[in-house]
Structure 1
Amino acid sequence: MISSVSLNTLVGGLGAQTRVAETAATNIVNATTEGYQAQQGQLVSKPLNGADYIPLPPEGDVDLGRELVNLSQASHSYAAAAKAFSSISETEKRALDSLA
């Protein structure tokens, strides 16, 4: 079975990348809304729990280039974490099948 540390790390990473993507998408959608201030956040490492996304105070206009980069990075990071989870699960399944 996948260790609880590995599971927590992957799930934490998936959740954090989801929040990054949500923030970027919200900023992109509201880029032309008068008075809207870009939402921000920071990814932080959490020992034994992967990563977390900490919201920061809104600040300034939306930088569409930065938001597209954030969205792209979040998408790639999410896909990598999901692939790692899938690979670990498949490896464990094969190991258990070989014992049967």
Structure 2
Amino acid sequence: MSISGIMSTALSGMRAQTTRVGAIANNIANSSTPGYATLNTSLTSVETGGVQAVVSPTASDVDPAAELIDLIEAEQSYKANAVVFETGADMWEVLMSIKRD
């Protein structure tokens, strides 16, 4: 896999986690709304590499504890993808400095 492919995969992971956090925030904000359908985020791999977040409503009630656990998991996943992206950017920088020399 190329450096740009690795960075693209990490970027898709960050986007997916951003979508996931949005669904979690929506669930927490509407937890006391009667008849609210909890949003569930599922992650699927993309044929070209990376991941995609799909948000769908479920018929369950909002569990604030479960939402906070999901939020922590999404935060850690986002951070991991950000580190991979930054590493790829650093590798590009090293390659460009070698090319210039």
TM class by smaller structure: 0.7 to 0.9
Which residue identity does 1:18 align to in structure 2? T
Give the structure-2-normalised TM-score.
0.85
Structure 1 counterpart of 2:3: 2
Contact 2:6 2:88 in 1 (8 A): no
**1:19 lines up with 2:19 in the alignment:** yes
Q: Percent identity?
A: 30
Residue segments in structure 2 that go unaligned for 5+ positions in a row: none
Count of residues in correspondence between the two structures: 99
Residue segments in structure 1 that go unaligned for 5+ positions in a row: none
Deviation of 1:96 (Å): 2.1
Distance in 1 of aligned mates of 2:21 and 2:27: 10
CA RMSD, aligned part only? 1.7
Deviation of 1:78 (Å): 0.7
Contact 1:40 1:59 in 2 (8 A): no
Distance in 2 of aligned mates of 1:51 and 1:90: 23
Contact 1:10 1:81 in 2 (8 A): yes
Secondary structure of 2:3's match? Answer: coil
Structure 2 counterpart of 1:93: 93
Contact 2:45 2:52 in 1 (8 A): yes
Which consecutive aligned stretches of 4+ in structure 1 deviate over 4 angstroms post-superposition?
A: none
Secondary structure of 1:55's match? Answer: strand
Contact 1:10 1:85 in 2 (8 A): yes
Secondary structure of 2:52's match? Answer: strand
